[in-house]
Amino acid sequence: MPSEPASSEPATSSPAPAPSDSLGGLVPDYVLPPIVDGLAPVLTKVPTEQKVVFLTIDDGAVKRDSDLALLEANGIKASLFLAHNFIAGEPQFYGKYTSAGHLIEDHTMSHNLAFIQLSYEQQKAEICGMADFEEQQYGRRPVFFRPPGGPYTQATRAAVAACGLKAIVDWEAKANAGGMDYQVGSGLRPGDIVLMHFRPEFPADLAAFTAAQKAAGLKVVLLEDYLATG
């Protein structure tokens, strides 16, 4: 079971910075669907023809300033889907990312890979608990949720909505083991949401992503900026 937060006080007393405008004047052509019948919408990519791509980074197990420096050197802002059991011992580390304009989203308390087998109430506790924790620590309540491993059910969609989040965000492309994996096609497409992880191979994964992004002629923009949910 995840440990309790080390302190009941936020990791920093500084106000959370406003989300960066990574769009550079680009006007989005897609609006996130609303919650309907108590169910949050699900995104695996953003349906757009605009030449944009979105980087999302999961978990938070490996904490290195050098990874943040790599993102900054490449001019990339990312959405970070963090799980409590990976960051509880040092939540303030990811305050460095929020100060740099990255945004933190919800990836459950325990990162239980059998998440969808939990009851609705158990799923809701995992999602709401992490949303509450992140709001306390970073001064912003998350708006997106990613289930561990990606699977979700109707109960998951209902729990996400009940916790005040706007959507489930999955992916169709992944930077992994120094290469790119695609569920559709053989390269990045406009609107792709790309999954990465905070792992030892982060530099190689980021290099694979940036190579694919440049080959496809896509601009990396912050998902929350594009969907006006930051």
In a domain, 71, yes or no: yes
Asked if residue 19 is part of any domain, the answer here is no
CATH of the domain at 117: 3.20.20.370
Q: Is 154 domain-assigned?
A: yes
Rounded to 5°, the CA angle 170-21-69 comes to 75
CA distance 32 to 127: 20
Assigned domain for 16 exists: no
Residue 102 domain-assigned (yes or no)? yes
Q: What confidence tens digit (pLDDT) does each residue in 16-50 have?
A: 455 578 898 889 999 999 999 999 999 999 999 99
Closest by alpha carbon to 157, among 111, 113, 115? 115
Domain region containing 62:
42-226
- 24 is a domain residue: no
Q: How many domains does the chain have?
A: 1
Distance separating alpha carbons of residues 184 and 182, to the nearest angstrom: 5
Asked whether residue 98 is domain-assigned, the answer is yes
Task: Write down the number of H helices and E strands in the chain.
Answer: 7, 10
Amino acid 21: pLDDT: 81
| CB 52 within 8 Å of CB 26 | yes
Q: How many other β-carbons are positioned within 10 Å of the β-carbon of residue 75? A: 10
- Name residues of the chain where pLDDT drops below 50: 1-16
pTM higher than 0.85, yes or no? yes
Q: Is residue 51 part of a domain?
A: yes
What is the per-residue pLDDT for 15? 43
Radius of gyration of the chain (CA): 16
